[in-house]
Amino acid sequence: MSGSRELGRVLRGWRDRTSPAAVGLPAGGVRRAAGLRREELAQLAGLSVDYIVRLEQGRATSPSAQVLSAMARALRLSAAEREHLYLLAGQSAPGPGQVSAHIPPGVQRLLDQLDGAPLSVYDAAWNLILWNPLWAALFGDASALRGRERNIVWRHFAGLPSRVSHTPEQEARFEAAVVADLRAATSRYPADTGLHSLIMDLRALSTDFARLWDAGSVGVHETHTKTVHHPVVGTFILDCDVLTAPGSDLRIVAYTAASGSDASDRLKLLDVIGTQAMAENGPPE
C-alpha cells in the first residue's frame, strides 16, 4: 500500500474513533458512525472539507507540517501517534530544537471548556494554531489563511488588514514584546530554519522590525486593552491577556470584558450571530 493511501486509511480510522464529545462538539443529529464527520474534523483542524476528503482518499500526497500539526491536534493524537502521522507523510516530527505547534491534551481540554471568551493559541514564533468559534466571530475565520498569513508578527509589520487598532503607545509596547519573544525563541530553537527564515524576511520587509531587532528591544506582555472594529456589532474595547501554557511555549490570548458592560453585551451578541456573513479581515494583533 502506498504511503498516501496508508495515511488516508489511518486518518479515517482516527476520525472514526474520535467522538464529538471528546473534542467538545455536540453529538446532535443522526449519525451513521460514532466518530467525527469530515465537516467536523475540517472545522477543528482549520482545513477545507475537500482537502480532508483528498487526504483520506490518498489524493493529497504532500501535506505540510502545518497541516499535519493541525490534524494531530484535532484528532487528539498521542505523542507516538503524532510521530507516526509525520512518518506516513514522509516528514520528521518537530524535534527539541524546533518550534512545536503541539497542544498538550490538558491544555486542549481547558480550551474546550472556556467557550465564553474569544481565545486563540500561538506557538513560540507567534503562528496562529488554534482558535475557538467566538474568536472567529470576532476577528473572522482564519481557516483559509496559510503560511505567513497566520503569523501575527508578520501581519503587523507587513501592514496586513486587522480589526484591531492601537494607540501609538500600545503599538510600541506590542512591537517590543513580540520582537523580544522572537529573539528568545531563536535561543530556545536554534535548529528551526523556519523561525530563522521568518526573522530574516521580517528584517528585509520592515525597517521598524530591523531597528528593534538590532537594538535588542526588550518587552513583556501585560494586561492591556484592544480596540476592535467589527463590521456588524461595531467598535468596542476588550481587555487582552497573554497566558503561557505550563511546560510549553504556547501562548493563549484571551479577550474579556467586564460583566454587564457594553463590550460584554456585544460579545454575547456575537456568540449568537456566529461567523455567518462575517467578512474576513485576518487575525488581530
Which phi and psi (to 5°) does residue 205 adopt?
-75, -45
Name the residue range of residue 48's domain.
3-88
As a whole number of angstroms, the distance between CA 201 and CA 214 comes to 14
Please report, for the domain that includes residue 146, its CATH number.
Answer: 3.30.450.180
- Answer yes or no: do 52 and 117 share one domain: no
- Total domain count for the chain? 2
The answer to whether 279 and 140 have CB atoms below 8 angstroms apart is: yes
In a domain, 283, yes or no: no
As a whole number of angstroms, the distance between CA 136 and CA 105 comes to 22
Place of cell 465537516: 39
- Answer yes or no: do 251 and 157 share one domain: yes
- Answer yes or no: do 157 and 196 share one domain: yes
Q: What is the pLDDT of residue 264?
A: 94
In a domain, 62, yes or no: yes
The answer to whether 252 and 244 have CB atoms below 8 angstroms apart is: yes
In a domain, 93, yes or no: no
- Answer yes or no: do 23 and 141 share one domain: no
Give pLDDT tens digits along the chain (285 positions): 456 788 889 999 999 998 888 777 776 666 776 789 899 898 888 888 999 999 999 888 788 887 888 888 888 888 788 889 988 888 877 766 778 877 877 777 777 788 789 999 999 999 998 888 899 999 988 887 888 999 999 999 999 999 999 999 999 999 999 999 999 999 888 888 889 999 999 999 999 999 999 998 777 787 889 999 998 999 999 999 998 877 778 899 999 999 999 999 999 999 888 755 444 556 777
Q: Which of 88, 123, 138 is the last residue of a domain?
A: 88
In a domain, 245, yes or no: yes
Q: What is the pLDDT of residue 281?
A: 56
Q: Which of 88, 116, 144 is the last residue of a domain?
A: 88
The answer to whether 127 and 251 have CB atoms below 8 angstroms apart is: no
- Answer yes or no: do 113 and 174 share one domain: yes
In a domain, 26, yes or no: yes
Q: What is the pLDDT of residue 169?
A: 92
In a domain, 79, yes or no: yes
The answer to whether 282 and 140 have CB atoms below 8 angstroms apart is: yes
Q: What is the pLDDT of residue 1?
A: 44
Q: What is the pLDDT of residue 95?
A: 67
- Answer yes or no: do 131 and 265 share one domain: yes
Q: What is the pLDDT of residue 96?
A: 67
Q: What is the pLDDT of residue 277?
A: 42
